């Protein structure tokens, strides 16, 4: 086979790891090169039942393949003009759909302070939308990346989580088809340092505590400490960077479908520790969700903690439109609450 020369890309240089000692969450590790066995399924099940988070290793990309994806992920932020970004911005709140740029300042965080982060979101069907000029040479690699996430990570994890509930191995896989109508997508995300005033007014919160609305979120581990999860004991703990590992979390749709067994765990993004301040923070994600027409009710008879009954399409549109608006009500403990499609959704500081 002839070897293809890949288009050159400017390297993205990430921040060095933090020098501080941080209180890290102790998350279980799943080795994706191992076959689906009852033992491995039990580890995945217990992780998703208690923490709602786990690490996956040996997913099949070498460190240099992963690094190349981070280099590509930086392009939409650093090599596209503001005018061109605006032309490719998604109308997220009106359409309830993430496609294209989420520009900086689009969301309200707290006390009049808006976010300092940009996304570029790409449906796994990369032909659904046009993309900025600078990204076009890399679309074949982005498409291959989406397939890698879908078939080499998402499906194996979903198989373990189905077996963990004594369901047929493909019960979740069958409602996460690559070619079905749905919004499972790749996200590139860049956070920019904020002013001291913004830090103070938001209590150092960059992205409020939330659950993701899909089934599984896949995050490519990166060195800037900022992601925290709300642990079962009620304390926020940092997520530690593990080279070439994936941080995987359960989200709303999986909680609904599993009758509340798998927890859509609350997580947030805060100002990094002092040794990493002043750096940008680049993220690469795959946000997976069931196919649009799937009804989000328990697939087995179980006592659900939280049960939704809308379709995935209705749920994702409602959650996406609602995010980052300013007029939220606080509950007794100061947490912002809103009711979406009959389900209470909270946003934590
Ligand atoms: O940047 C991160 O580490 C997490 C971002 C996140 O939680 C989200 O985009 O839903
Ligand atoms: Fe999230």
Q: What is the pLDDT, as a whole number, of residue 304?
A: 52
Distance (Å, whole) CA 53 – CA 259: 18
Q: Is the complex ipTM higher than 0.90?
A: yes
- Which of 126-140, 202-216, 269-283, 315-329 shows the lowest per-residue confidence on average (mean pLDDT)? 315-329
Q: What is the CATH number of the domain that holds 87?
A: 2.60.120.330
The reply to whether 229 falls in a domain is yes
Find the mean pLDDT for residues 122-142: 97
pLDDT at 305 over 90: no
Of 107, 109, 219, 225, the residue with max ligand 1 atoms within 8 A of its CB, to mutate for a pocket test, comes to 219
- Which residue among 269, 284, 286, 323 is best mutated to probe the pocket of ligand 1, counting the most ligand atoms within 8 A of its Cβ? 269
Does residue 8 fall inside a structural domain? Answer: no
Give the per-residue pLDDT at 300: 87
Domain containing 236: what range?
Answer: 29-348
How many domains does one find in the chain?
1
Q: What is the mean pLDDT of the chain?
A: 93
Sign for the pseudo-dihedral over CA of 268, 273, 278, 284: negative
Residue 291 in contact with residue 183, Cβ under 8 Å? no
5 in a domain, yes or no? no
Q: Is the CB of 269 under 6 A from ligand 1?
A: yes
Asked whether residue 142 is assigned to any structural domain, the reply reads: yes
Residue 20 lies in a domain: no
Distance between the two ends of the chain, CA-based, in angstroms? 53
Residue with tokens 């300013």: 326
pLDDT value of residue 344: 78
Assigned domain for 45 exists: yes
In this predicted structure, what is the pLDDT of residue 167?
97
Domain-located, residue 324: yes
Residue 18 located in a structural domain: no
pLDDT at 56: 98
Sign of torsion over alpha carbons 173, 216, 309, 90: negative
Q: How far is the CA of 210 from the centre of ligand 2 (A)?
A: 6
Give the separation between CA 319 and CA 347, rounded to whole angstroms: 12
Question: What is the distance in A from the centroid of ligand 2 to the CA of 229?
Answer: 10
pLDDT score, position 309? 67
- Averaged pLDDT, 15-34: 97
């Amino acid at each position: 086979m002839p070897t293809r020369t890949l288009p050159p890309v400017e390297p993205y240089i990430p921040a060095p790891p933090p020098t501080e000692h941080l209180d890290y969450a102790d998350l279980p590790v799943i080795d994706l090169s191992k076959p689906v066995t009852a033992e491995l399924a039990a580890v995945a099940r217990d992780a998703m039942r208690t923490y709602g988070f786990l690490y996956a290793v040996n997913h099949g990309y070498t460190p240099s393949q992963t690094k190349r994806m981070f280099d590509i992920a930086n392009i939409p932020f650093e090599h596209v003009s503001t005018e061109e970004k605006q032309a490719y911005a998604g109308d997220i709140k009106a359409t309830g759909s993430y496609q294209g740029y989420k520009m900086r300042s689009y969301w309200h965080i707290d006390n009049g302070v808006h976010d300092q982060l940009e996304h570029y979101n790409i449906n796994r069907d990369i032909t659904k939308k046009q993309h900025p000029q600078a990204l076009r040479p890399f679309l074949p690699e982005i498409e291959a990346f989406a397939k890698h996430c879908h078939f080499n990570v998402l499906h194996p994890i979903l198989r373990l989580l189905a077996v963990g509930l004594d369901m047929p191995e493909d019960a979740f896989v069958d409602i996460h088809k690559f070619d079905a109508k749905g919004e499972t997508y790749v996200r590139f995300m860049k956070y920019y340092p904020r002013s001291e005033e913004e830090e103070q007014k938001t209590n150092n919160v960059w992205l409020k505590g939330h659950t993701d609305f899909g089934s599984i979120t896949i995050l490519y581990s990166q060195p800037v400490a900022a992601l925290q999860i709300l642990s079962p004991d009620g304390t926020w703990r940092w997520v530690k960077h593990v080279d070439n590992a994936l941080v995987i979390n359960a989200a709303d749709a999986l909680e609904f479908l599993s009758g509340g067994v798998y927890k859509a765990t609350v997580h947030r993004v805060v100002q990094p520790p002092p040794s990493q301040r002043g750096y940008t923070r680049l993220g690469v994600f795959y946000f997976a969700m069931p196919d649009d027409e799937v009804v989000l009710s328990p697939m087995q008879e179980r006592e659900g903690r939280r049960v939704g009954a809308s379709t995935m399409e209705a749920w994702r549109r409602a959650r996406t439109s609602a995010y980052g608006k300013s007029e939220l009500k606080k509950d007794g403990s100061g947490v912002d609450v809103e009711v979406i499609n009959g389900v209470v959704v909270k946003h934590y500081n």
